[in-house]
């Protein structure tokens, strides 16, 4: 494998990691503050992508679509919170899992009903077509670089919000010890609505970013959701820093594993066997990594919750 | 006597399934539907052992069925079709997977456990899709159902009905026995109050892991039957949606007793069958019903009589 | 003095910057009722948690029957014969009183990896459980689910559970907490009947009960043991009076200072 290919895969992995972080950030805060497990967080990503596709088709502009899709995703998240989620905070995790699973069924089928089962295309914004020469002989798509840059900027903004603002301080305190924050007279439900809406918007943002390069289709959020769970488990529930590092780790392991593993296996096996075993192994790799990390650090890399 | 009364719903249900083929439900299509319901009920009962008995909410139980089903596939590809070989392999494969993943998963609890079982289930799913030799994403069609002592017993729909019923009854009895035993008592204690159980000298880990492996083994047996019922196995059988559906069955029926899983699975399959004939986008209704069931039936279908009685007393 | 059954040496525990257990050394001799008293926040429950293994200590050693148990987990210590009750009632709500207690008997009666026979039909477990329930006066309530019992009954059940493990050392964390006057009376009677048969470490706010029951008392203030000795000596100790009892002078006031 050449250095060029390795670099391309590294950048792809970074880009997947960034998208994962945008999804996992909201999820981990919602877990941390409200102890609420939301399987339907992945559909926020899907809904964001569909909003982007819809508004792009209406306005003909990616930028306008982005501008419209973000508040739409926010409103949609708050609507779900109002209709379903807020009735589940006092219930056990099992009830939360099932009801949010129901939300997934409804929304996956719902977008199929409204937009059809066929994938939608969102054109790249004009300014970001083409590629950038990253190094000699390596042209990397500008838009994918823009995703990485935009994601990193968002991560920075999020870090500033959580670490440097009053609301962020409450969120951090809530993740460490929610009853304590409630006892201090903070309206924890309103705090949660803020966190929830913001998380939904971040996931929607990830969906908008992904829309031009991935196909927009029903169920597109499901697999990313589970990767986001892995990210949270590895990073430590409630930890933004943990989510960020774990997201990059998962993105890189997932992407590099898929391209490197078959080659690695070829050292031991025949080409056809290597392809099959390599594919099987690489799909397990991320989960094996998760198991290994949990075996040594059951609360993840950056545990937040006070025991 | 009291114990018998508690088991009445389950016994009644099994009895109905036993006479159904001779009470006007003997058509091939109906038998197929009932077989599907009974196999899923078997998996749901084993999941109920975990959820209701041990408080372990697994979102990866479909993977156990998947291991059983893919054992059938892999042996079928190798032309090994004798049930007395295939079934033990299916059970051991699922139990082995449960042991390895459970060793990590049952160290955790609550949300962590849900997410980790979900992740391991997804691992099994992606592994299945990468098995290009066995159809990959598209799945694998069996050459034929497994044979019993060289005979094609399982091809006979009526015989298969009773095989499934027997397996379901056996799974139910086994789980019921386990829950009542010393082992089950510790398991229930760990669920009800882990600190108290530990203060008495019980480490939750070995009990939970054992329960996880047993549930996995039963799930593997259900997977074996499922592969034989459909004569086709695809990664979709292992998807996390399927795990969610199994959990739905358990909750729909009610976690208070194993019979809840029986009622839930049968109710689920009937509902799915009926709705899918009503509307192309029936999954929307299904999802809405699921949400409503969680919000308004905290004790599941088998809790309805008590809920109604309470409502009447109050009104 | 007889060989200590439980001995603590230089226990340290900090929560953040706060020392909740500060160089605690204590000996509990076989057969005694050793009370630990102290104002709220003195670290009494923390100490019980450290002895029983719920909380790890930062430094120091815990010896039980001559064996170092400092790093053993909760369930291993329980197996050695350390039973505890919890300040906040900790029973299994879905179990009947009998099953709660039978579970405790089961802990000391061979392997629990038995899968076939219904546990509720094991006469050996049930008889021992009933004996423990009778000992605390709950015999008639054996078939009532613990979740449906009154607070006082739960406190009694908590005691029965601890007794049913046939413990060598009983750690009782405020067994009278939240009990009404009549229930308190009954519980004190039960505890008195245990005297001499069990070695007991008793954390309790109710001073009347403490002075009625304890053989020796240790006074804990801000995580430190400021005095240890026979009941009468503690009652007379001026330092104790100042540090702890001073607030309402006489320890024999009705009701627990909370």
In a mutational test of the C interface, the residue from B6, B55, B174, B182 whose CB has the highest number of chain C CBs within 10 Å is B182
State phi, psi for C58 to the nearest 5 degrees. Answer: -80, -35
Separation of alpha carbons B149 and B157, rounded Å: 18
**Within a domain: A59:** yes
- Residue B176's domain spans which residues? 2-267
Q: Which residues of A touch B251 (CB under 8 A)?
A: 94-95, 98
Which residue among B177, B185, B192 sits closest to C116, beta carbon to beta carbon?
A: B177
Residue B187, pLDDT above cutoff 60: yes
Tell whether B184 lies on the interface with C, counting CB pairs under 8 A. Answer: yes
Does residue A103 fall inside a structural domain?
yes
How many domains are there within chain B? 1
Let me know if residue A304 belongs to a domain. no
User: Of A102, A106, A284, which is closest to B294 when you measure between CB atoms?
Assistant: A102
Backbone angles phi, psi at C10, to 5 degrees: 60, 40
Q: State which residue of chain A sits closest to B293, comparing Cα positions.
A: A99
Q: Within a domain: residue B24?
A: yes
- CB distance from B270 to chain C under 8 Å? no
Cβ–Cβ < 8 Å for B81, B143:
yes
pTM: 0.87
pLDDT, tens digit (0-9, with 9 covering 90-100), for B4-47:
677 888 889 999 999 988 888 878 889 999 999 999 999 999 99
At residue A200, the pLDDT reads: 92
ipTM of predicted complex? 0.86
The answer to whether residue B217 is domain-embedded is yes
- Using a CB-CB cut-off of 8 Å, the residues of chain C touching B180 are 118-120
The SS3 of residue A103 is helix
Q: Which of residues 192-231 of A touch B (CB under 8 A)?
A: 222-223, 226, 229-230
Instruction: Answer yes or no: is pLDDT of B214 > 70.
Output: yes
CB contact under 8 A, C119 and B182: yes
Residue B311 above 80 pLDDT? Answer: no
Question: Is 90 exceeded by the pLDDT of residue A283?
Answer: no
Judged against a pLDDT cut of 80, whether residue B313 lies above it is answered with no
What domains can you pick out in chain C, each with its CATH number? 6-81+167-248 (3.40.50.300), 93-152 (no CATH)
Quick check: is B133 in a domain?
A: yes
- Interface check for B176 against chain C (CB to CB < 8 A): the answer is no
Write the burial class of residue A160 (CB in 10 Å: 0-12 exposed, 13-18 middle, 19+ buried): exposed
Measured between CB atoms, which of B118, B133, B291 is closest to A226?
B118
> Partners for A (CB, 8 Å, 3+ pairs)?
B
> Is residue B291, in this structure, part of any structural domain at all?
no
pLDDT at B239 over 70: yes
Residue B286 is assigned to a structural domain of this protein:
no
Q: Do A101 and B127 touch (CB under 8 A)?
A: no
Summarised one tens digit per residue, pLDDT across range A109-141 is 999 999 988 898 888 888 888 888 877 777 888
Please give the pLDDT value at position A306.
47
Distance from chain centroid for Cα B66: 11
A270 in contact with B at a CB cutoff of 8 Å? no
Q: Do B290 and A226 touch (CB under 8 A)?
A: no
Average pLDDT for A234-240: 85
Question: Cα dist. B251→A3, B30, C190 in Å?
Answer: 52, 25, 43
Residue A224 within a domain: no
Residue B157 clears pLDDT 80, i.e. is over it: yes
Higher pLDDT, A45 or C196: A45
The answer to whether residue A273 is domain-embedded is no
Q: Does pLDDT of A307 surpass 50?
A: no
Domain count across chain A: 1
Token reading at B199? 């203060």
Q: What digits encode the pLDDT tens for the residues B245-296?
A: 999 999 888 877 888 899 999 999 999 999 989 888 888 998 998 899 888 8
Domain hosting A167: range is: 8-218
What residues of chain C score a pLDDT lower than 50? 1, 248-258
Whether the predicted pLDDT of A236 surpasses 60: yes
pLDDT of amino acid C254: 40
Q: What is the mean pLDDT of residues B179-193?
A: 94
Q: Is C180 helix (H, G, I), strand (E, B) or coil?
A: coil
Assess if residue A93 is contained within a domain: yes
What residues of B are in contact with residue A117 (Cβ under 8 Å)? Answer: none
- Mind telling me how many Å the CA of A133 is from chain B's nearest CA? 34
- The answer to whether position B279 is within a domain reads no
């Amino acid at each position: 494998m050449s250095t060029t290919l390795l670099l391309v895969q590294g950048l792809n992995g970074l880009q997947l990691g960034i998208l994962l972080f945008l999804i996992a950030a909201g999820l981990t805060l919602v877990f941390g503050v409200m102890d609420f497990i939301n399987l339907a967080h992945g559909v926020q990503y899907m809904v964001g992508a569909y909003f982007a596709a819809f508004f792009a088709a209406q306005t003909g502009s990616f930028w306008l679509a982005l501008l419209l899709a973000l508040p739409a995703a926010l409103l949609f998240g708050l609507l779900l919170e109002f209709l379903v989620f807020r009735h589940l905070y006092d219930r056990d995790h099992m009830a939360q899992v099932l009801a949010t699973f129901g939300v997934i069924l409804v929304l996956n089928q719902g977008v199929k009903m409204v937009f059809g089962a066929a994938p939608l295309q969102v054109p790249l914004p004009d300014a970001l077509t083409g590629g950038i020469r990253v190094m000699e002989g390596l042209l990397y798509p500008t838009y994918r670089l823009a995703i990485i840059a935009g994601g990193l900027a968002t991560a920075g903004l999020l870090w500033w919000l959580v670490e440097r603002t009053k609301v962020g301080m409450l969120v951090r305190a809530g993740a460490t010890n929610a009853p304590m924050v409630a006892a201090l007279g903070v309206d924890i439900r309103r705090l949660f609505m803020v966190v929830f809406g913001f998380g939904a918007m971040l996931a929607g943002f990830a969906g908008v970013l992904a829309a031009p390069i991935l196909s927009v289709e029903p169920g597109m959020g499901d697999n990313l959701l589970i990767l986001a769970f892995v990210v949270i488990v590895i990073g430590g529930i409630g930890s933004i820093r943990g989510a960020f590092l774990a997201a990059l780790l998962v993105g890189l392991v997932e992407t590099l594993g898929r391209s490197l593993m078959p080659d690695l296996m070829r050292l031991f096996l025949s080409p056809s066997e290597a392809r099959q075993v390599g594919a099987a192994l690489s799909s397990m790799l991320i989960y094996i990594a998760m198991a290994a990390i949990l075996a040594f650090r059951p609360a993840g890399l950056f545990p937040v919750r006070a025991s | 006597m009291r114990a018998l009364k508690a088991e009445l719903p389950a016994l009644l249900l099994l009895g109905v399934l036993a006479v159904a083929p001779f009470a006007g439900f003997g058509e091939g299509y109906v038998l197929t539907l009932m077989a599907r319901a009974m196999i899923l009920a078997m998996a749901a009962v084993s999941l109920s052992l975990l959820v209701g008995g041990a408080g372990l909410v697994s979102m990866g139980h479909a993977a156990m069925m998947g291991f059983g089903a893919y054992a059938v596939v892999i042996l079928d590809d190798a032309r090994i079709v004798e049930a007395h070989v295939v079934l033990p392999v299916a059970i051991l494969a699922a139990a082995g997977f449960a042991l390895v993943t459970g060793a990590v998963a049952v160290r955790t609890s609550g949300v962590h456990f849900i997410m980790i079982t979900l992740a391991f289930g997804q691992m099994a799913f992606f592994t299945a899709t990468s098995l290009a030799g066995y159809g990959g994403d598209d799945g694998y069609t069996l050459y034929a159902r497994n044979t019993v002592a060289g005979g094609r017993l399982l091809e006979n729909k009526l015989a298969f009905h009773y095989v499934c019923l027997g397996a379901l009854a056996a799974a139910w009895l086994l789980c019921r026995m386990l829950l009542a035993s010393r082992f089950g008592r510790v398991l229930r204690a760990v669920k009800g109050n882990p600190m108290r159980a530990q203060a008495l000298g019980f480490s939750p880990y070995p009990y939970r892991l054992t329960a996880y492996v047993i549930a996995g083994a039963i799930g593997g047996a259900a997977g074996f039957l499922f592969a034989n019922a459909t004569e086709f196995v695809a990664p979709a059988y292992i998807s996390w949606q399927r795990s969610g559906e199994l959990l739905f069955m358990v909750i729909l029926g009610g976690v208070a007793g194993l019979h809840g899983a029986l009622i839930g699975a049968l109710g689920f399959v009937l509902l799915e069958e009926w709705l899918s004939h009503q509307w192309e986008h029936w999954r929307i209704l299904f999802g809405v019903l699921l949400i409503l069931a969680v919000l308004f039936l905290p004790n599941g279908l088998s809790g309805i009589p008590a809920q109604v009685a309470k409502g009447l007393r109050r009104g | 003095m007889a060989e200590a059954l439980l001995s603590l040496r230089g226990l340290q525990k900090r929560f953040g910057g706060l020392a909740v257990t500060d160089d605690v050394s204590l000996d509990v001799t076989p057969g005694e009722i050793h009370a630990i008293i102290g104002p709220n926040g003195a670290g009494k429950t923390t100490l019980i948690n450290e002895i029983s293994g719920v909380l790890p200590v930062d430094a120091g050693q815990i010896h039980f029957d001559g064996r170092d148990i400092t790093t053993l987990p909760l369930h291993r210590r329980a197996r050695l014969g350390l039973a505890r009750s919890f300040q906040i009632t900790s029973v299994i709500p879905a179990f009947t009183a009998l099953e709660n207690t039978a579970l405790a008997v089961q802990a000391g009666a061979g392997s629990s990896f038995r899968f076939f026979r219904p546990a509720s039909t094991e006469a050996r477990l049930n008889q021992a459980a009933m004996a423990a329930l009778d000992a605390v006066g709950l015999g008639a309530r054996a078939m009532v689910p613990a979740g449906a019992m009154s607070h006082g009954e739960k406190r009694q059940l908590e005691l029965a559970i601890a007794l049913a493990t046939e413990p060598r050392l009983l750690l009782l964390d405020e067994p009278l907490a939240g009990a009404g006057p009549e229930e308190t009376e009954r519980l004190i009677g039960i505890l008195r009947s245990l005297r001499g048969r069990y070695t007991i470490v008793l954390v309790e706010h109710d001073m009347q009960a403490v002075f009625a029951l304890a053989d020796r008392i240790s006074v804990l203030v801000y995580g430190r043991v400021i005095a240890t000795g026979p009941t009468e000596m503690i009652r007379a100790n001026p330092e104790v009076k100042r540090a702890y009892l001073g607030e309402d002078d006489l320890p024999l006031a009705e009701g627990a200072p909370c």
